Amino acid sequence: MRSMRFRLLAVCSAVLVSVAGLNPASASTIVKMQFNVGLITPPIDSVYIELFDDTPLTRDNFLNYVNDGDYNGVVMHRSVPGFVLQGGGYTWSGSAFVDIPSDGPVLNEFGRSNVRGTLAMAKLAPPPEGPAHGGPDSATNEFFFNYGDNSANLDNQNGGFTVFARVLGNGMALIDAFGTLQTFNVAGFQNVPLLNGNQFIVMSDVSETQLIVGDTDFSGVVEQADADLLAATLTGGTDEPQYDVDANGTVNQADLDLLNALLLGDIDGDGFVGINDMNVVLANWNQSTPPGDGDADTSGDGFVGIDDLNAVLAVWNVGSPPPPPAATVPEPAGIALLGLGSSFLLSRNRR
């Protein structure tokens, strides 16, 4: 039995060398916008957006506000159904709108059309309609969601409005729900959307985030529902990064195959195939289980063996590694023991 285990470990080591580095991860810049209310069923209160690399000045300008925390607590202060939902410039003091800090204007980078589901920078009209500092290069912190296709209008005025991001997944369902709210005149601002006539729509937390490989529905867990969603999406075609499981820039059947393999090989259900999953197989090696029962029996044949090990090794290192455990400070006695252990190791290494 011992020699069998050594042979298994040797085989595993050889295979791991050949598959090391197979860890797809999207290079897309993703921002999560969490709002103070969720208005759709099933309820969601967050929208994920992908920033475009072909508008680098605008992307970096937007990320500066995100990473500085300037957008946290900001009110969506304007909604025109069928047109735009606008925010990014103001918080609410309880009696008035208050400007958030501005990093100054950014050069216009118009190139993509203002179609439904995109985000673009708001800016001031040029003189004489607007102030002397208005015009194509006057965007600072305010942005808007395009409720509909506004390309005929917004692409052809004031130098074109720079589209710098798009909404991912079903996020537009929440944005559309905001567009159904009644609007009011509030403290000198027109078309302010209010829930129940008295509650602002607020971005409670805006932060840069990473996609979880295979988490196509942004639930935070990689599960069968993600594979079902990807399968349904393939029929219509998409290039959204959460569906690009192998991160090669194309969404196709290969992504669904990889996601299904990930679900099979991820025995411990943490969204990542690694040593923990292999250990479960080895701990149950050569054991019988009821068909389809038992995490280690990936093949469902009632026996833990080479097929189950292969299911793990086929997608080794695929997925998003779970975050490391929080660091802890050992008690004084623990520190002394650690010191003793370190001294022992040093003395052993000198021989």
Q: Do 165 and 260 fall within a single domain?
A: no
Domain residue limits at 309 = 2-24+220-313
- The winner for highest mean pLDDT among 43-47, 109-113, 215-219, 234-238 is 109-113
Q: Do 11 and 154 fall within a single domain?
A: no
Task: Give counts: helices (H), strands (E), the chain.
Answer: 9, 14
Q: Do 179 and 259 fall within a single domain?
A: no
Q: Determine the straight-line distance between the first and last CA of the chain, rounded to whole angstroms.
A: 33
Place of tokens 């529905």: 217
What is the tally of structural domains in the chain? 2
Q: Do 14 and 103 fall within a single domain?
A: no
Q: Is residue 338 part of a domain?
A: no
Let me know: does 319 contact 277? Beta carbons within 8 Å. no
Q: How far apart are CA 81 and CA 175, in angstroms?
A: 10
Q: Is residue 182 part of a domain?
A: yes
Let me know: does 273 contact 311? Beta carbons within 8 Å. no
Nearest to 263 by CA among 301, 306, 226: 226
Report long-range pairs for 277-285 (Cβ below 8 Å, ≥24 apart): 277/312, 278/12, 278/309, 278/312, 278/313, 281/308, 281/309, 281/312, 282/5, 282/8, 282/309, 285/5, 285/8
Q: Do 227 and 159 fall within a single domain?
A: no
Q: What is the pLDDT of residues 7-66, one digit of tens each?
A: 554 445 444 434 444 445 557 899 999 999 877 777 789 999 999 999 999 999 999 999
Q: Do 111 and 247 fall within a single domain?
A: no
Q: Is residue 330 part of a domain?
A: no
Side chain identity at residue 315, one-letter code = V
Q: How many CB atoms lie within 10 A of CB 204?
A: 15
Q: What is the pLDDT of residues 79-128, one digit of tens each?
A: 999 999 999 999 999 999 999 999 999 999 999 999 999 999 999 988 88
Q: Assign residue 175 the CATH number of its domain.
A: 2.40.100.10
